[in-house]
Amino acid sequence: MVDVILGLQWGDEGKGKIVDYFAPKYDMVARFQGGPNAGHTLYVGGKKIVLHQIPSGIFHENKINLIGSGVVLDAVTLKKECEAVAAFGIDYRKSLYVSERTHLILPTHRAIDRASEAAKGRDKIGSTLKGISPAYMDKTGRNGLRVGDLLAGDFRKKYDQLKKKHQQILDTFSFDEDISQSENEFFESIEFLKTLKIINGEYFINDAIQSGKNILAEGAQGSMLDVDFGTFPFVTSSNTITGGVCNGLGIAPQKIKEVIGITKAYCTRVGSGPFPTELHDETGELIRKNGNEFGSTTGRPRRCGWIDLVALNFACMINGVTQLVMTKADVLDTLDVLKVCTGYSVNGKETTQVPFQMDGISIEPLYKEFTGWQTDITGIKDFQALPPQMDTYIDYINSTLEISVKYISNGPGTNQLIVAQ
């Protein structure tokens, strides 16, 4: 049996904490897509750690953690992550597995990423500059190097051949950068990667399913950043939705049972791209301050706005969401008025559907207002103890989406999670 946890907005929904909460119920946590642009924040023994590639089940004893084939892997980042995990007394070598079909991010991928964004100028996508898009481009272009290639004797030869192709791309950007130091670090990290458990991920996970193991598939980024269904071209380079579980881990659709979708009580976005409910006023700044809305990977300030039920309904539809988790509800504690986007006015025409193209057109959000609860909810443990104004807010979201919010995160601690009975 496979359950899925994924974000329903533009990422940064607080997936790390939620995966950490659910992990004890499962035998394996498997990351199915994305790269080191993910930032899943956990608090272990009161200490903060941000995981970028290692699945969030790593801190739970006797849990298998699999980096699946749909991920693009940065060996340098992985080595640093493993060292950070080890500092907490965790023996990652016992529980961390890497699929041999996982593609590698090379130093030249990072250089191409920087060159490409620099060339776009003001029209840049807002890349994290970690080489993820170029690595996926090599994957679809059938040029990429995979973790399994490390076990062959000609890896350096293949690397040099691909480096020549990358240099031709860099030359078109007139981009000249010395990557020798990055290469030294890369090859040191490659040697480290070879000491980990590299396995055939598809047989590995299907054998686990066949033997009755429970699997939790962990997504990165958010549904509205999906390369096919997100706000293209301001998207990530992988399939962030439930469908990505199948091609990212090599499992059949019928193996998936629960789809646990995560949404903030409001909405945020990092980088460029359309964001219909974005607030450019004091309220937006207050939400950013109260929610500490700065990227866990990049440190960039997140754009903040009201919850968008048009986009959220779309995300629930394409993911087949069966239950909802609402995070950072406590961030709204001090607000006297809350707004919920119920529809768009697109070029003067009202709709409740996400349009084909969200940038370059006039989108005016249509709002329904609610009275804020203006109560500190961080200590609440029981759904029945929620303020009535908050009940009204959540009930409206439940009825609009026709999916119930079953969990409410009311603080950063793993124990700050209110569970519906």
Q: Which are the catalytic amino acids?
A: 12, 40
Q: Which residues neighbour 198 within 8 Å (Cβ) at sequence distance 6 or greater?
A: 97, 98, 99, 100, 147, 148, 150, 151
Q: Which residues neighbour 122 within 8 Å (Cβ) at sequence distance 6 or greater?
A: none
Bond from prior residue into 36 cis (ω within 30 degrees of 0): no
DSSP letters along 233-270, please?
A: TSS-SS--STHHHHHHHT--GGGEEEEEEEEESSEEE-
Q: Distance between CA atoms of 386 and 278, rounded to whole angstroms?
A: 27
Phi (first) and psi of residue 375, to 5 degrees: -140, 140
* DSSP classification of residue 402: T
Place of tokens 């409001």: 266
State whether the Cα torsion 60-418-367-260 is positive or negative: positive
Structural contact between residues 88 and 127, judged by C-beta atoms closer than 8 angstroms: no
Token pair for residue 254? 């019928």
**Residues belonging to the chain:** 421
Token pair for residue 421? 């009975």
Choose among 148, 157, 155: nearest CA to 196: 148
* C-alpha atoms less than 13 angstroms from C-alpha of 4 in its C-beta half-sphere: 31
Q: Distance between CA atoms of 22 and 182, rounded to whole angstroms?
A: 37
The helix/strand/coil state of 146 is strand
Residue 59 identity (one-letter amino acid): F
Choose among 240, 249, 202: nearest CA to 34: 240
